[in-house]
Amino acid sequence: MSCTIELEKGVIDTDLCTNCGACTNLCPYLISFKGRVIRVFNCETENGRCHAFCPRINVDSESLRDDFFDKEIYVPEIGPFYGLYLTRATDTGLRSNSQHGGTTTALLELALKEGFIDSAVLTQSTGGLEPQTIIATRPEDIRNCQGSSFQIPPTLAGLNEALKGEAYKKIGVVGTPCKTLAVYKMIKKLATDDEHGMDKIGMVFGLFCGWGLDWLGLDDLVKRHTTVNKLKQMDILPSSFGVMELKTEDGLIEIPLDEIYPIIKESCKYCTDFTAEFSDISIGGARSSAGWKVDQGWNQLIVRTEKGKELLEIARAKGVLEFKDMEPYNLDKLKKASMNKKRTGLKNLIEKTGNKSDLMYLSPNDPVIKGILNSAPFK
């Protein structure tokens, strides 16, 4: 079976596709439009790069972990782990336009300045809708990408474009868990015919992610509540608040999560990674006993590699980031949230296949997965 047909039948038609972009900009046969990948022609290649890089086909997480991370620091709930930190950018101007503490933007700017990367593949959106992928080479390009979009753009299509030619030698990538997993599959060069320059990927920044939203569903939802050109930013608050916030030129609009849940992207229900375990550094919104009014101005950050450690140490030494003491229960709380997503994703996969031995894209022999399947409520 050709790789494009296999992707269509095994990933797109089964609602596993995340629209990460790993399969697009490799050849003209697959395109992404409004959050969906579409096969426009049939490619006769049986094991092409699109098939090899897809994060929803034949994922050997154990092998990837062994190849890229220190086994001694692996934590089953959250992956490779050198430490958890509460941080925010010291630059107040940067923070004022950020989703939370501005940590991701500050670290990207620092990585560019210090030579860890010479470019960065990022998502730029207007208030959170119609996100586009850009290749940033200047700090101002990076700052133009502040803020989140809960629509899922094909970011890695931009990476595939950046990898062509000789313009970039050390490319940084920012993405949600499905995207960073695909990047590590790329780095491993799983495609037998790969001459695509994966050694040009310089650093990977992961974003914590519970789920994304259907592109058209979110577009329609926002238009029911406000005029799109007035939208400045959107955010989903902690579950205890039960709302999505839309920040507009006219003020704040709260949308009950009951309106959000029906438009959660179907593929997100089969994801088992909350903290972007395949990355150098993972970043998410902070959670602490101080409450949301404080936490919304901070990030929590996991360091996973030596390169990640080095960048964070420079950020501390140069005062790029401000650090806050971590409360003892924070790590346990994060582990619990992450494990809940693993269990939910596996339960949904089992319900989809009707067979604990068929997890579609995941291996039931992975030690982490096997441990979960052999524990309650899977016995």
Tens-place pLDDT, residues 182-216? 999 999 876 655 555 778 999 999 999 999 999 99
Give the ranges where the chain is alpha helix by DSSP (H): 3-7, 49-53, 61-68, 92-96, 103-114, 139-143, 155-162, 177-187, 215-225, 257-260, 292-295, 306-317, 330-353, 367-373
Span 226-234, average pLDDT: 91
The pLDDT, as a whole number, for residue 379 is 59
- Record the tokens describing residue 219, joined without a space: 């577009």
Query: Contact at 8 Å (CB) between 307 and 280?
Result: yes
The per-residue pLDDT for range 62-81, each reduced to its tens digit, is 999 999 999 999 999 999 99
Give the 3-state secondary structure of residue 79: strand
Q: Would you give the end-to-end CA distance of the chain in angstroms?
A: 36
The pLDDT, as a whole number, for residue 28 is 81
The pLDDT, as a whole number, for residue 148 is 86
The per-residue pLDDT for range 97-130, each reduced to its tens digit, is 898 999 999 999 999 999 999 999 999 987 899 9
Residue 161 predicted with pLDDT over 70: yes
Residue from 124, 280, 272 nearest 209 by CA: 272
Looking at 2.130.10, 3.30.70, 2.40.160, 3.10.450, the CATH number of the domain 215-263 comes to: 3.10.450
Bigger pLDDT: 289 vs 223: 223
The per-residue pLDDT for range 132-152, each reduced to its tens digit, is 999 999 999 999 999 888 999
User: In terms of C-beta density within 10 A (0-12 exposed, 13-18 middle, 19 or more buried), how is residue 300 classed?
Assistant: buried
The per-residue pLDDT for range 16-62, each reduced to its tens digit, is 999 999 999 887 888 899 999 988 877 777 778 888 899 999 999 99
Domain with CATH 3.10.450 in the chain: 215-263
Q: Considering the entire predicted model, what is its pTM?
A: 0.95
The pLDDT, as a whole number, for residue 326 is 87
Span 335-355, average pLDDT: 97
The pLDDT, as a whole number, for residue 298 is 96
CA–CA dist 90, 72 (Å, integer): 33
